[in-house]
Chain A
Amino acid sequence: MIKNVSLGQYFPGNSIIHRMDPRMKLVLVVAIIVLIFLMDTLVGNLVVFGFLVLTIILSRVNIKFVLRGLKPLWFIIILTFVLNTFFYSGGTEMFSWWVFRVSEEGLMNAVRLAVRLIFLITATTMLTLTTSPIALTDGIESLLKPLKRVKFPVHELAMMMTIAMRFIPTLIEETDKIMKAQTARGAEFDSGSIFKRAAGMVPLLVPLFVSAFRRADELAFAMESRCYNGGEGRTRMKIMHMHVRDFIAMAVVAGLIVFAAFGF
């Protein structure tokens, strides 16, 4: 019933990109996003394109998964493209019809924006495809550490994110089980009017909430019985290390930024 859930769309693998330090990946993705906005020329965009293609090749992620990440955004991409093409004021006119007027600059602008959007999504998709959700939260926690100085609950936040992510597959599995059990008793989740469907969700949602609360309770109990009392003095099983590959990646991105700064 619930098929093909790729959680946080992580694509398991052991490539050089997968093995990079999550902290470095996070920082570099932010840098790449800035870079994408800086690049304004054809050459610049080609360079970014080349960089992204290289990342995809190195990560050995199936290209289908990268494109799947773009799927939900096709609508927005096409919409911005159309709006920019037809409603760009000024510029040299290419052709016009009724109230529509297409100019050379308008078309260029539309292409540029669409390409930019695709690049942005690809870059962030590559991050989530090659980094497991747990590694990602670990990285975020580590990067946010300085905020502890201003009493920001970094560890608690990261722990909540980790637990939430840990339980997504469990809850999906649970939903699937309860759905099957209720379907076997004659419940229907995929037919009828929208109101009927909403009412039909009750036999699914009530047991799901009950089990979520039960699990939360059990988990809290299990954590406390293993002496969990917050982040203070807690050591890690997996300590993150920067390796040569991380610095190489950093150098490449830094190079691109310099390249962009010199006006390409």
Chain B
Amino acid sequence: MSIELENLTYTYMPGTPFEARAVDDISLHINDGEFLGVIGHTGSGKTTLIGLVAGLLKPTSGRVLIDGADIAEKSYDRKALRRYIGVVFQYPEHQLFEETVYKDIAFGPKKTGVPEEEIEQRVRHAMELMELDFDGVKDLSPFELSGGQKRRVAIAGVLAVRPKVLILDEPVAGLDPKGRTHLMNLITHLNSEGVTIIMITHSMDDLAEYAHRVIVLNGARLVMDDTPQKVFLKEEELRGIGLDVPYVARIASALRAKGINVDNDVIRLDELEGAVKRLMTGKNGASGSGGNA
């Protein structure tokens, strides 16, 4: 299973004075099991792009192919598509509507055709993943929960469908540090189990830490597509389009400016730690393989 975007273009309100091109001729191949980070400043078309990938928007031109089949075709099985791709939108807690937490989480599985007898087990599992106490919370109204719990219920509602591809739009925005760590750990855990992750974020640090590949959008166009190491090398270019590099990369470049020899593909904390350790122990051998710690 893989996702292929072919010359994807999307225009809002064509033919009016409000016409705006949100995605402009983007071609992309997303591999199975990949952790793809999507960055770009506000209004660069990230959210529209994931709407297109998930089949929630119809492209103005171009195609989205899943295993070679065009998802915009009438004959494409919608339910299978919803089971295949799960989307956690920004502030997913705003999508809660059922009377009880249980019913809300069961909504997705029910609608995508999961057999009735399997649903309870799925809800239970999704709640465990989100660290929600099944017996304690399942009969509460989602509206009486705290903000953080609401978000967890909403994400559990997406996870209960068990998608093969999980799209997340700024999932950690507005969460407390503990919630952030838990969610990021969960995402990497799912990724290690083979779930493809497509994550929009403004946190360069998270991407440096977890992503296999980063794409950069600017003005509706795809401007970079590479490993995080290579993307974050282009500091000037990133700053030019309102983005930044991870703080580790900033520390590394500050060290380099002071004449301390740290490799310029160091973007993760453990890499930096390794590089600094090597520098302190063997004063001469720092030039070689700094990034493999």
Taking Cβ atoms with an 8 Å cutoff, the residues of A that contact B are 1, 3-4, 6, 11-12, 174, 177-178, 180-188, 202-203, 206-207, 210-211
- Known pairs A1-B56, A186-B79, A186-B82; A181 contacts B111 (CB<8 A): no
Please tell me if B283 contacts chain A, counting CB pairs below 8 Å. no
Contacts of A3 in B (CB 8 A): 13
Q: Which A residue's beta carbon lies closest to that of B95?
A: A181
Q: Is the CB of B94 within 8 A of A207?
A: yes
Nearest Cβ distance between residue B199 and chain A, in whole angstroms?
15
Whether, in the assembled complex, B172 has its beta carbon less than 8 Å from a beta carbon of chain A, the answer is: no
> Can you list 11 residue pairs at the A/B interface with Cβ under 8 Å?
A4-B16, A6-B16, A6-B18, A180-B87, A184-B89, A184-B158, A185-B108, A186-B112, A206-B97, A207-B97, A210-B94
Known: A4-B16, A184-B82, A185-B157. A203 touches B107 (CB 8 A): yes
Does B96 count as interface, using CB distance less than 8 angstroms? yes
B87 touches A177 (CB 8 A): no
| Distance to closest chain A CB from B169 (angstroms) | 10
B107 touches A210 (CB 8 A): no
Residue of B with least CB distance to A202: B97
CA distance A181 to B111 in the complex (A): 13
Interchain CB contact (< 8 A) of A184 among B13, B16, B85, B97: B85
Q: Across the interface, do B111 and A12 meet the contact criterion of CB distance under 8 Å?
A: no
Chain B nearest CB, measured from A155 CB (Å): 31
Complex CA gap A1/B12 in Å reads 11
Closest Cβ–Cβ distance, residue A14 to chain B (whole Å): 12
Assembly CA distance A182 to B95 (angstroms): 7
Given contacts A1-B56, A4-B13, contact A181 B92 (CB under 8 A): yes
Q: For the complex, what is the distance from the CA of A177 to the CA of B169, rounded to whole Å?
A: 12
Let me know if B95 and A207 touch, CB within 8 A.
Answer: yes
- Given the complex of chains A and B, what is the CA–CA distance between A207 and B150 in angstroms? 13
Chain B residues whose CB sits within 8 angstroms of the CB of A177 once the complex forms:
89, 94
Q: Is the CB of B17 within 8 A of A11?
A: yes
Which residues of B line the A interface, CB within 8 A?
A: 13, 16-18, 51, 54, 56-57, 78-79, 82-83, 85-87, 89, 92, 94-97, 107-108, 110-113, 143, 157-158, 161
A207 touches B108 (CB 8 A): no
Q: With A202-B97, A210-B143 known to touch, is A180 a contact of B89 (CB < 8 Å)?
A: yes
**Which residues of B lie under 8 Å from residue A202 when comparing CB positions?**
97
* Inter-chain contact A178/B56, CB cutoff 8 Å: no
Does B97 contact A181, Cβ atoms closer than 8 Å? no
Complex Cα distance, B169 from A180, in Å, reads: 13
By the criterion CB–CB under 8 Å, are A185 and B16 in contact?
A: no
Which chain A residue shows the least CB distance to B78?
A188
Residues of B within 8 A of A1 (CB): 56-57
Docked complex Cα distance between A202 and B51 (Å): 22
CB distance from B194 to the nearest CB of A (A): 20
**Chain A hits for B78, CB < 8 A:** 188
Shortest distance in angstroms between B173's beta carbon and chain A's nearest beta carbon? 14
Closest Cβ of chain B: how far from A69's Cβ, in Å? 14
CA distance A206 to B98 in the complex (A): 8
| Residue in A180, A186, A210, A211 whose beta carbon sits within 8 Å of that of B108 in the complex | A186
Residue in B54, B57, B111, B157 whose Cβ sees the most chain A Cβ within 10 Å: B111
User: Other than the known A11-B17, A185-B111, A186-B83, what 7 A-B pairs have Cβ atoms closer than 8 Å?
Assistant: A1-B57, A180-B89, A184-B87, A184-B158, A185-B82, A186-B108, A188-B111
CA distance A225 to B89 in the complex (A): 31
A222 to B245, CA, bound (A): 36
Chain B residues in 8 Å Cβ range of A183:
56, 82
Ranked nearest first, the 6 interchain pairs of A and B with the lowest CB-CB distance are A186-B111, A206-B97, A185-B108, A184-B87, A181-B95, A186-B112
A-chain residues with CB within 8 Å of residue B108 when the two chains form the complex: 185-186
- CB-defined contacts of B111 to chain A, threshold 8 Å: 185-188
A18→B197 CA distance, assembly (Å):
49
Q: Which of A6, A12, A185, A210 has the most CB of B within 10 A?
A: A185
Complex CA distance for A6 and B19, rounded to whole angstroms: 11
In whole Å, how far is A214's beta carbon from the nearest beta carbon of chain B?
A: 9
Q: What residue of chain A has the Cβ atom nearest to residue B13's Cβ?
A: A4
CB of A178 within 8 A of CB of B94, answer: yes
Taken together as a complex, chains A and B put the C-alpha atoms of A180 and B13 apart, in Å, by 17
Q: With CB as the reference atom, state the residue of chain A lying closest to B18.
A: A6
Task: Please report the C-alpha to C-alpha distance between residue A182 and residue B78 in the assembled complex, in whole angstroms.
Answer: 13
Which residue among B79, B82, B95, B110 has the maximum number of chain A CB atoms within 10 Å of its CB? B95
